[in-house]
Structures are given as structure tokens and as C-alpha cells.
Structure 1
């Protein structure tokens, strides 16, 4: 559904949401839209601001310019979110995921005109208290572009599936079909799209459309590291062991170790990851790229996670293993892993946190 909020208030309300839900905040949003002249378009379960401006000849924004925003209270709308995220950098696009009843789904994506804007949003707005007692999470968007379609009949071929998906979705780049590791005598297709947005819209369309192929009901989901691993195993290829390696500052950097940093500012930055990002930005080392994978869980519930972190001006990546234990602290496991890893890297960079 495409609709602009500049249109008549009653028309917009009846088209885009249940009028009886959260009326005060919706009225404030409509008033803000009227005052600012901002255009919002709702389609495929999301409401979008911005995107390529008229006459835009550039390509898509590069990797690292989009952030994920989570834990948004469901009665918060763009009149609060867009000005907040515009305050740290120039927005290229803002997408708020919506329910049919007119509440947001609790998450959104903000894309900036450059990586600096995205980095500042993560550093300054992660854990920002947008509403009393409600802190939002801001992290780099994972930019997933691949879906898996499981449960395909043995007769389905790539040249059969490709035109069907091209008709139902947009942005299909490639398709590969493999024996399914999860369903006997069935196949699993890996479908790559041009962007995360194209893949997300395709996933929603395929899931809600209850796609059937050759009389079989199939399952559509993101292609995860677990599925990749299972595909690798089922193909009969050995998975190489990754041994932990730890680098000192002298190993990793092409310069002298950094001077110790006063860490009293750490609480204002929110986390070890934020602190590492801030330090790397200050020293012009490049934005840290985190890659992690859980390799085992022990009987006590601790998770062993392998990590690989790339910092552009470091000669070697940082690799190793860390242990974390899930608890009720409110932090996601991925966030806890990154904080522990960031602490180790800070120590390797000559900046011990005490």
C-alpha cells in the first residue's frame, strides 16, 4: 500500500491504521508531517522516508551507512525518530516497520549519506532513552541479502524456480539448489538479492503468499550461519578448524602502540564496542568489522564464540575465542560477545580499561 501522509487526515488514518489505537501520538505525527512537509510512504509493512532524491544519479549507499534501531516503544513514530537520527548526520532513508493496526513493530532502519553518520548514530544514540524507562538499541545493520527456501520437491530445477521468483519478487541476483540438510528427499534453494531491503520485502511477500511449488508447502527464511554450516556438512566437505590466535599491538599495527586513554568517559559511550569505535575514529584506524560464530555450549550453559575483527589500518585481523554466559541482564548474546571482544582488542591496542 502506498499512501502519503500529506493527504486528508481522515483518509490517511482509515488507510494506514486503526483510528482507535494510540490516537494522541498519531495526531502528533500527522501534525508534524503537515508542518514539515515530509513525505512518508507505506508499502510492504514498512513506512519509508527519503530514498533516492529526484534526479539522483548515484548508486546505492555503500556498506556501513545503515544502522538497525531496536527496542522502539510501539507508540513512537517518525515525528520523534527522524529528528533524533537527523541530529547526528544527514539521512538518506529512514524505514519504520509497521503493523496493520498502526503500531510500529519495534524496529527501524536509518541509512545515512556516509559512514560517518552511521558511526555517530551508533556511538551517540545506542541506549538513548527515547521514552522514560525505554532505551533504544542502535547497531550496524547486518545487511542480509540471502534467503533460503526449504522443502522443494526433487523435480524443481534452478531454471524453473528463477523465473517464478523473478515474477513474485524483485532484485533476484542468483539461485543455487542443494539437497536439504533438514528434510529428507527435499531440496533447499539459496536465493541472493541485490540488497537487504529487496531480500526483506521478498521474504515478507513469499511468507505471506504461502508459496507452493509442485504441490509442496515450502519454508522461507534468512540464510543463517547455521544453515550454511549444515549445507557445508551435507556436501561432504570438511569444515576447517579455526585455531585461536591473539595479536599484540606490535603485531597488528603499522605504528607505535597507542597511549593509554582515560576511561572515565566510558559510561557516556554506553559499551566497550562504542568505546572501541570512538577510539578507532579518533585515531583514524578505520571502523571495526565484527564477525562471530558460536562453536559450542558447555553443560553449565556457557557459550564459546569464535571472533574475527578487521580494523582497516591494522596489518592483521584479531582472532580468537571468548566465553559468555546468557543471563537476564537484558543484553543480547551478540552484544555481550562484541563487548568482551572489544575489551580484548582495546588491551591489544595498548589501551587497557581499568
Structure 2
């Protein structure tokens, strides 16, 4: 069991954080002792710490929808050594995710996913439980949202190029629809569906970091709610049925332009860093997963010498057997994300 910032946690392959040693030291040490005693393995990645997903020894299928609960109003000095045993009393946990701050405190909420719906229903009975004297927690069914809205797109934006760009920037896109925006005049809104709540949450994190523009337009990225979803579908639909990210349709001229922009992102990032006197970015990439359909997952870390913090995370690219090496494709896709975070003008 590796230690990170005093908390027992194994550094994940991407987006790892080192929690501050000084904040809440006693409870972090208690967490470390509990993890050693129980053999519980915690992985910290992308602003959260996770157990399971799947848990050790799991051989079954993914839990059905409705197996996850949301846990709120947590005192920020609490950790998994007090939370996981409590939520294990009602059923077997498939996954437990505690949202974390950079100081090493929790962000006040967590998600517990069980192996079945019945256990999740039992967990709701813990709503109002005083985890500390005077601190009743909230426990309710998780909505497990899988859809994002991207509002503020120009009328000229087409579905197929946008679909490809989102597949380059985020993982797990399953479909996309474009509608006239109910919220902004002469703008479009995209309804983007992801394979899971986790994939959608990670996509939202990527898309809202920094000053993000798509095709030169400032955009707003939000969860799709039931009422806003109805507004989309009540508006005049400007495009046909959603197309799958894995569809093998021929590329339009717009697709080619998007691919061209992605392929030049690394050079453009170097130019921007040079103009801002940040120094040349240093990339470290590693392919950690290959899918039978040709999708490759890369872990990356990028150090820009005069930027205060390094960048790290996970990204998916599509292997297409072109003359461009997979690592170079990954670097270009990563560079495109960094350009957004740095607030650089679009190519």
C-alpha cells in the first residue's frame, strides 16, 4: 500500500494528486492504519479516491442501473475508514468514490455503488444517520446522469465533425444530437450521451477546465436535466437521428478539417508556449489499454517548465494504421486539451 499525502492510497495512472500532509493529519494517519489492517486498496485519480470498481475477486457483470446512492453533507475531515464500513453493513460494495480537495479533505460528498439494487435501497435507510454528533448525512438514489449539454455553438457547426472532435477530447461518447439552442439566440446546443456516468463526469471535467472554446465559440457545458432535455426536443430539430461514435461512415470535408486541427495541435502548443516564455512542453505517454475495436487508452504527464503545475490524466485515441504513430496521435490530442486549459486561441 503506497502512501500519498498521509492517506493510504495508491497513485492512479492518471490525474494523480499528492494530498497535503499538514491538513487533518490525525485522521489521515487513522485512514492509513485502517487500510493496512484491512488490505483495502484505494486509488486516487481526478479529484477523487476510489475503492473497487470492481472490488477484489469480482467475477460478475456490471451492477444494474439504480445500484448507486449519493451521500452528502459529510464532515470534511471524514475518510473511508469510517464511511466504507458503515455502507458495507447493508450490502456488498461494488465501488465507493469519495470526492477530495487538494488539501486532502473530502468535498462533502461521495458515491456508493452496490452489486444490486436491493442493497442500494437498503442504503437509503441511512439517510439522516449521524455520522458525527450533530452531523446527519444525506443518502439518496444517485441519478447516474450520462448526458451533457454543450451550449453556445455556432449555426455552422455540423454534427459529424463535432462528434469526432469530442471523441478525440473525451472517452465514452456514444451519440450526439444538435438542436437550436433554447437559451441563446442564433446558437446551437449539443446533447452528448456517454457510456456511463463516470465517463460523462470525466468528460465534463475535461470540457470545463480552463477557458474552453470550440470552433472559436465560448461554450457552456452542463448536465442534461429532464426539463432542459424536454426543451431540446420541443425545439425544431435541425439534424437527423444521432450517429454512433463508432460508425464507419466516410468523413466529410469538415471531418478532415477537424482531424487536421488535431494533428497540428502539438506544434501549435509549442508555438504558444514559446510566445508566452513558458518553455517547451515535455511529454511522457504510455499506452495502458487496447480495445479490440482499435481504441487505445494512454496515460500522460506533461511538464511545461515555467507553468506552476504539471498536467496528467488519461485519454483515448482511435488507432487507424495511418503513417502517424499512435504516441504522436496521443500527444496531439493531449496538446489540444492543454491549449484549452491554457486559454490559447483556437487554431
- Which TM-score applies when normalising by structure 2? 0.62
1:56 to partner: Cα distance: 5.2
Deviations 1:243-296 (A, max 9, x none): xxxxxxxxxxxxxxxxxxxxxxxxxxxxxxxxxxxxxxxxxxxxxxxxxxxxxx
Equivalent position of 2:213 in the other structure = 212
Is the 1:92–1:112 Cα contact (8 Å) retained in structure 2?
yes
The match for 1:25 among 27, 45, 50 is 27
**Relative to structure 1, is the Cα distance of residues 168 and 59 closer, same or farther in structure 2, using a 3 angstrom cutoff?**
farther
Deviations 1:118-176 (A, max 9, x none): 111112x1110001100011111111111000001122111111121112211111000
**Relative to structure 1, is the Cα distance of residues 54 and 131 closer, same or farther in structure 2, using a 3 angstrom cutoff?**
closer
**Relative to structure 1, is the Cα distance of residues 88 and 187 closer, same or farther in structure 2, using a 3 angstrom cutoff?**
same
Gap regions ≥5 residues in structure 1: 1-5, 237-354
**Relative to structure 1, is the Cα distance of residues 110 and 11 closer, same or farther in structure 2, using a 3 angstrom cutoff?**
closer
- SS across alignment from 1:16: coil
**Relative to structure 1, is the Cα distance of residues 55 and 72 closer, same or farther in structure 2, using a 3 angstrom cutoff?**
closer
Equivalent position of 2:112 in the other structure = 110
Higher RCO (CA 8 Å, separation ≥ 6 residues): 2
- SS across alignment from 1:33: helix
2: distance between equivalents of 1:122 and 1:10?
A: 32
Is the 1:9–1:30 Cα contact (8 Å) retained in structure 2?
no
Is the 1:147–1:199 Cα contact (8 Å) retained in structure 2?
yes
User: Is 2:139 aligned against 1:144?
Assistant: no
Is the 2:7–2:29 Cα contact (8 Å) retained in structure 1?
no
Equivalent position of 2:41 in the other structure = 39
1:79 to partner: Cα distance: 0.6
**Relative to structure 1, is the Cα distance of residues 55 and 79 closer, same or farther in structure 2, using a 3 angstrom cutoff?**
closer
2: distance between equivalents of 1:8 and 1:83?
A: 21
2: distance between equivalents of 1:163 and 1:95?
A: 30
2: distance between equivalents of 1:158 and 1:127?
A: 46
2: distance between equivalents of 1:195 and 1:116?
A: 21
2: distance between equivalents of 1:9 and 1:168?
A: 29
Is the 1:153–1:213 Cα contact (8 Å) retained in structure 2?
no
Equivalent position of 1:92 in the other structure = 94
Equivalent position of 1:60 in the other structure = 62
Is the 2:6–2:21 Cα contact (8 Å) retained in structure 1?
no
1:47 to partner: Cα distance: 0.8
The within-5 A match list for 1:237-256 is none
1:226 to partner: Cα distance: 2.8
131-140 vs 48-57, greater mean Cα deviation: 48-57
RMSD: 2.1
Number of matched residues? 230
The within-5 A match list for 1:143-292 is 143-235=144-236
1:57 to partner: Cα distance: 5.5
**Relative to structure 1, is the Cα distance of residues 178 and 202 closer, same or farther in structure 2, using a 3 angstrom cutoff?**
same
**Relative to structure 1, is the Cα distance of residues 134 and 121 closer, same or farther in structure 2, using a 3 angstrom cutoff?**
same
- SS across alignment from 2:65: coil
1: distance between equivalents of 2:177 and 2:206?
A: 20
2: distance between equivalents of 1:27 and 1:217?
A: 44
- Which TM-score applies when normalising by structure 1? 0.61
Is the 2:163–2:176 Cα contact (8 Å) retained in structure 1?
yes
1:209 to partner: Cα distance: 4.6
